[in-house]
A = this chain, B = another copy of it.
Amino acid sequence: MQHIDHLNKLKIISLGIDTYHENVIFMRSDCPICRSEGFTALTRLVVHHNQNSIIATLNVIHSNLLQENEAALSDMAQKRLLVNEGDFISISHLKPIESLSDVRAKMYHKKIDETAYHRIINDITNGLYSDIEIAAFIAACAGDNLDLDEITWLTKAMIDSGFKLKWDKKIILDKHCVGGLPGNRTTPIIVAIVAAAGLTIPKTSSRAITSPAGTADTMETMTNVNLSIETIKEVVDKEGGCFAWGGSVKLSPADDMLITIEKALDIDSSGQMIASVLSKKAAAGSTHVVIEIPLGETAKVRTLDEALQLQYYLKAVGSAINLMVEVLITDGSQPIGKGIGPALEAMDVLAVLRNQKDAPLDLKEKSLMIAGVLLELSGKVEKGKGSTEAKKILENGTAYAKFMAICIAQGGFTEPKFAAHKIEIKSEIAGIVTAIDNRKLAKIANLPEHPIVHRQVFILTHPSAPKYKNSKHCLPFMPSRRENYNIRLII
User: Residues of A with Cβ closer than 8 Å to B?
Assistant: 1, 3, 14-20, 26, 29, 35-38, 40-42, 44, 59-65, 75, 93, 96, 100, 104, 107-109, 130-136, 138-140, 142-144, 260-261, 264-267, 443, 447-451, 478, 482
Asked whether, in the complex, the Cβ of B451 is within 8 Å of the Cβ of A14, the reply is no
State whether A29 and B38 are in contact (beta carbons under 8 Å apart), knowing that A104-B266, A139-B140 are contacts in the complex: no
9 sample A-B contacts, Cβ–Cβ < 8 Å, listed by A number: A36-B450, A38-B449, A42-B264, A100-B266, A108-B143, A109-B144, A132-B261, A135-B135, A136-B138
Nearest to A107 among chain B residues (CB) is B142
Which of B26, B37, B96, B143 contacts A109 (CB under 8 A)? B143
* B130 close to A264 (CB less than 8 A): yes
Residues from chain B with Cβ under 8 Å of A131 in the complex: 131-132, 135
Contacts of A63 in B (CB 8 A): 14-17
**Bound-state Cα–Cα, A368 to B60, Å:** 44
In the complex, the answer to whether A19 meets B41 with C-beta atoms within 8 Å is yes
CB distance from A44 to the nearest CB of B (A): 8
Q: Among the interface residues A17, A140, A449, A450, which one has the most CB atoms of the partner chain B within 10 A?
A: A17
Q: Which residues of B contact A59 (CB under 8 A)?
A: 17-19
A60/B18 contact (C-beta < 8 A), A93-B448, A131-B132, A451-B35 known: yes
A93 to B449 alpha-carbon distance, docked (Å): 12
Among B18, B64, B264, B267, contact of A29 (Cβ-Cβ < 8 Å)? B18
With known contacts A1-B478, A36-B450, A109-B143, A265–B136 Cβ distance under 8 A: yes
User: A146 to nearest B CB, angstroms?
Assistant: 13
Q: How far is the CB of A310 from chain B (nearest CB, A)?
A: 15
Q: How far is the CA of A3 from the CA of B451 in the complex (A)?
A: 18
Could you tell me the distance between the alpha carbons of A440 and B285 in the complex, rounded to whole angstroms?
49
A374 and B1 alpha carbons, distance in the complex (Å): 41
Contacts of A107 in B (CB 8 A): 139, 142-143, 267
**Residues of B contacting A64 in the complex (Cβ-Cβ under 8 angstroms):** 16
CB neighbours (8 Å) of A443 from chain B are: 1
A42 vs B18: C-alpha distance when bound (angstroms): 9
Complex Cα distance A131/B41, Å?
Answer: 13
How many Å lie between the Cα of A109 and that of B42 in the bound state? 29
16 additional contacts (CB under 8 A) given A17-B63, A136-B267: A1-B443, A1-B478, A3-B482, A18-B29, A18-B41, A37-B448, A42-B264, A107-B142, A107-B143, A108-B143, A131-B132, A132-B135, A132-B264, A135-B136, A136-B265, A139-B140
In the complex, what distance in Å separates the CA atom of A133 from the CA atom of B139? 10
Minimum CB–CB distance for A25 against chain B, Å:
12
Within the complex, the shortest CB–CB distance from A131 to chain B, in Å, comes to: 5
**Cβ-closest chain B residue relative to A96:** B266
- Interface pair A135/B139, CB less than 8 Å apart: yes
Inter-chain CA distance A482–B104, complex, in Å, is: 31
Contact in complex: A108, B75 (CB < 8 Å): no
Candidates B130, B144, B265; contact of A133 at CB < 8 Å: B265
B265 & A16 in contact (Cβ 8 Å cutoff): no
Closest to A4 in B: B480
- Which of B26, B35, B133, B448 sits near A38, CB closer than 8 Å? B448
A138 / chain B contacts, CB cutoff of 8 Å: 136
Are A267 and B104 closer than 8 Å at their CB atoms? Answer: yes
In the complex, what's the smallest C-beta–C-beta distance from A40 to chain B, in angstroms?
Answer: 8
CA distance A60 to B19 in the complex (A): 7
Residue in B62, B93, B142, B478 whose CB lies within 8 Å of A75:
B62
